Chain A
Amino acid sequence: MSYGAILAVLLALTVIGFYLGRGRARALAAGSRTRLHSLPGYYGAHVAIWIALPALILFVFWISFQSAIVEGIVWNGLPDKVTVQGETGQKEALAPERKRLLIDNIANYATGDIVSGEITPLVKQGAARFLRLQALSSWIMAAAMAILAALGLLAAYRSVSPAMRARNRVERAILILLMVASTVAILTTVGIVLSLLFEAMAFFTKISPVDFLFGLEWSPQTAIREDQVGASGAFGAIPVFAGTMLITVIAMIVAVPVGLFAAIYLSEYASRRLRATVKPVLEVLAGIPTVVYGFFAALTVAPMIRDAGAVVGLTVASESALAAGLIMGIMIIPFVSSLSDDIINAVPQSLRDGSYGLGATRSETIRQVVLPAALPGIVGAVLLAVSRAIGETMIVVMAAGLSAKLTVNPFDAVTTVTVQIVTNLTGDPEFDSPKTLSAFALGLVLFLVTLCLNVIALRVVQKYREKYD
C-alpha cells in the first residue's frame, strides 16, 4: 500500500469524522433543552483531530524508523561469507565497509536507483527480501493507523455532549500544532549550527585557530603525495576575509546611495500613482535569481571593465573584485531601497508638516528632518544589507575568482569566504582532509559575523520603531 493512498484514506476518514461529530452535536442540540457549549463545527473538528492526529504521529515515527529496521533485518540475513565474483571465486569474509556498500546496493536496486558495481544474485535476492519486508511493514503500519483512527473516532464521538468544551479543546490542539511547527524550525536551525560547530572543531584539531584566524596565507591544497610541490596547505583566513570585505565595500558603495536615493524619491517626491508602479518594478530586481546576476557579472561586466581598464592603461584581472562588487551592489539595491522606504514612511507626517509650515523646501525637510529622524532605521537597513552581501555566494563564485590575495585593489582578482566554502566542499570527496573541513570553519565564522550584524541591525531598527509609536 503506497503512502499516498494511506494518507488519502486517513484524510477521507477525518472528513467523515468531522461530519459525524458535527451531526451528533446538532442532533444533541435539537433533542435537548440545554445549549451546546460550542458551535457544532467545533465538535466536528474535535472528532477530526482525534482521528487524524494520533494516526499521523504514528505515521511519521514509523516511516522515520522503518528503513533502518528493514535494512537491519536484511543485514542480518546476509551470509557472513560471500563468493567474490571475478577473482578467485572463493568465499571470503565481508569487511564491514563492503557489507555496508552491499546493503546500500540492495536498497538502491530495490527502489530502482543507480547501483554501483555489478548486480549479483545476492543483490537481487536481498532486494526481493527488502521489498517484501517493506511491503509487510507498510501493511502493519496501515493497520495500526486504522486502529488508532477508529479508537480516536470512537472516543471523541462518544465524548460529544452539550457540556463538553469542544471549542477550548480545538484551541489547545491548534496551539500545540503551532508550537510543534516552531519547535521544528528552531531544532533544525540548532542542528545545522551544531553540525557546523562539530566539523569546525574537527578542523581546529588539525589547524590551530590562531593560525586560521590570523594567518596571512591561504592555499588549501594539501599534498596528496609526499613529494608534491606547490601544495603546502596554508590555512590563514585573513586574505579570504579581506576579499569578502573588499567586495562587500564595493557593493555597499553602489547599493547604499542608489537604494537610499531611490527610496527618498519614491517616498517623498513620487506621486502616488508613480509609486504604485515603480515600487513593484524595483522589487522585481530582488526576484532575479542570483545566478543570473552571476553570469551577467562574469560574462558582461568583467570583460567590459577589463577592456575599459586596458584603454586607460590599467591591468585589470578578468575576474575582478570590481565586477563582482558592482553586480552584487545592484542586486542589493532593491533590498536597501525597500527597507529604507518603509523606514522613511514611518517618520510621522507631522514632522514634515512642521518643517513645511516653517517654509522649508522639500529637500531641506528631507535632509534636516526626515533623514535624521530615520537615521537609526537606515543604519539598521544597511547592516542587514551588509550581512546579505557577505553571505552572497553565486555572484562571487562566478565572477570573483579563486586566488586568495591580500589586496585592496578593486581591479585584482580576489576570493571570498563563500567561494572558498563552495570550492573546498565540492569536487574533493575526501571528507576528513583539512581542505574540506576548512569549509566548515569558514562557514562558522561567516555565520557568527552575519548573526552579529543581524542582531545589531534588528535591535537598531526596533529601537527606532518604538520611538514613534
Chain B
Amino acid sequence: MDEIAMENIEAPPAAAIAEPADAPEFRVKMKTRNVNVHYAEKHALRDVSLDIGEREVTALIGPSGCGKSTFLRCLNRMNDTIDICRVTGQLELDGQDIYDAGVDVVQLRASIGMVFQKPNPFPKSIFDNVAYGPRVHGLFSDKSDLEEVVVQSLRKAGLYDEVKDRLGDPGTSLSGGQQQRLCIARAIAVGPEVILMDEPCSSLDPIATARIEELIDELRQNFTIVIVTHSMQQAARVSQKTAFFHLGDLIEQGETPQIFTNPRHEKTQGYITGRFG
C-alpha cells in the first residue's frame, strides 16, 4: 500500500517538469488511496488510488460498467444517497478526509459540483435553475447580488447571450446542448472548486459537444475538472491527465498524450485502439 502511495506522489512532480516552463505548478486537489466500493455484494471498485491535479482536467475512461461513474460519485459522496453502496478507503480534498464523520456532506457537495450525463434542469425558469444553489446556500446578500451571480454563472457557462432575453422561460424549453450548459452554470453558481462531469456530452450532437468542450477548456482556468467520457477523442482533446479503468481496477493513469500515444499497459493499448470495450 505504501508503495502505491509513493509511486503516486512521485509521479506528479515529474509530470510538472515535463510541462512548459510557464505552466502553473502541479498541486494535488483531490487525493484517493485504496478506494473500494461495494454495491451490496458486488465489488464495483478495487483499490483505486488516483491524484487529481488542481486546475486541470482529468479524464476517466474505460469500458462500460468498469466503475467510472461509481468513482466519480465517490468524490462528492453522491453514493451516500444509494442505500446499498459502501465506500472504504481514503479520499481527501485539500488534505481533508471527505468521508470523515465530522464532514458536512451538504457543504462538501457545494464545493464539489456535479454535471450529469443527461441534462436535468429543474422544472423551473432558467433564472431559478441557476439561482437554486445560491438560494439553498444563502450565497447572496440581496436581489441584485443574486442577479449578478446568475448572470456571471451563465456567462461562464457560455450561455448568457443565448438566453439573456428569456431568463423567465422554463429551463426545459432549451435545446439539449443549452440545457447541459445550463446545468454547468447551475453548478458554477454555487462557487465550487471541483466540477465532476459524467459523460456530459453523450446526449448531444457534435456541434453542441464542441461548445461544451471549449467551455471545459475555459473552465480549467478556475476549476478542477474530472470528466468521464466514452470518447477517446474527447479525452485527448480536453484533458491533461487520463485514468483508464477496467472491471473495477484502475489500470493506468498518466499524462493524456502519453496514455494515448504510448500506453504502458496492454489493456490500455487494447482499449484506446478499439480492440475491446
Min CB–CB distance B213 → chain A (angstroms): 21
Q: Does A309 reach chain B (CB closer than 8 Å)?
A: no
Asked whether A355 is an interface residue with its Cβ less than 8 Å from the other chain, the reply is yes
Query: Does A86 belong to the interface (CB within 8 Å)?
Result: no
A271 at the interface (CB under 8 A from B): yes
A-B contact pairs, 6 of them (CB 8 A): A354-B120, A356-B78, A357-B109, A358-B109, A358-B110, A368-B122
Residues of B at under 8 Å CB distance from A? 76, 78, 81, 83, 106-110, 113-116, 118, 120-124, 132-133, 136-137, 183, 186-187, 190
A360 and B106: CB pair below 8 A?
A: yes
User: Shortest CB–CB separation between residue A124 and chain B, in angstroms?
Assistant: 77
CA distance A364 to B132 in the complex (A): 10
Docked complex Cα distance between A467 and B122 (Å): 13
- Is A357 within 8 A of B136, CB to CB? no
What 9 pairs between A and B have smallest CB-CB spacing? A359-B110, A357-B114, A359-B109, A350-B120, A358-B133, A354-B120, A360-B136, A359-B106, A373-B123
**Bound complex: CA A352 to CA B82 (Å):** 12
Cβ proximity bits A322-365 to B, threshold 8 Å, 1 near / 0 not: 00000000000000000000000000101111111111110010
Question: Among A271, A356, A373, which residue has its beta carbon within 8 angstroms of that of B81?
Answer: A356
Interface centre among A354, A357, A364 (most CB of B within 10 A): A357
Tell me the total A-B contact number using a CB cutoff of 8 A: 69
A residues near B (Cβ < 8 Å) are: 271-272, 348, 350-361, 364, 368-369, 372-373, 467
The smallest C-beta distance from A117 to any residue of chain B, in angstroms, reads 72
Q: Assuming the A-B contacts A354-B183, A372-B123, A372-B124, are A359 and B133 also in contact, with contact meaning beta carbons closer than 8 angstroms in the complex?
A: yes
Bound Cα distance A434, B121 (Å): 60
Is the beta-carbon distance between B122 and A359 smaller than 8 angstroms?
no
- Chain A positions within 8 Å of B190 at CB level: 358-359
> In the complex, A334→B85 CA distance in Å?
31
- Of listed A272, A350, A352, A373, residue having the most chain B CB within 10 A: A350
Known: A353-B114, A359-B106, A364-B136. 14 other contacts (CB 8 A): A351-B120, A351-B123, A354-B122, A357-B76, A357-B109, A357-B116, A358-B186, A358-B190, A359-B108, A359-B109, A359-B136, A361-B106, A372-B123, A467-B123
**What is the chain A residue whose CB lies nearest that of B128?**
A368
Task: Give the distance in Å from the alpha carbon of A77 to the alpha carbon of B89 in the complex.
Answer: 99
Residue of B nearest to A273 (CB): B83
Q: How far is the CB of A364 from chain B (nearest CB, A)?
A: 5
Q: Is the CB of A353 within 8 A of B120?
A: yes
In the complex, what's the smallest C-beta–C-beta distance from B108 to chain A, in angstroms? 7
Contact across chains for A351 and B83 when beta carbons are under 8 A apart:
no
Residue pair A353, B116 in contact (C-beta under 8 Å): yes
Distance of B80 from chain A, by nearest CB (Å): 9
Min CB distance B115 to A, Å, is 8
* A355 vs B122: C-alpha distance when bound (angstroms): 8
Contact call A358/B136, Cβ cutoff below 8 A = yes
Contact A348 B120 (CB under 8 A): yes
Cα–Cα distance between A348 and B137 once the two chains are bound (Å): 23
User: B136 touching A353 by the CB < 8 A rule?
Assistant: no
Tell me whether A357 and B118 are in contact in the complex, defined as CB-CB below 8 angstroms, given that A372-B124, A373-B123 are known contacts. no
B78 touches A357 (CB 8 A): yes
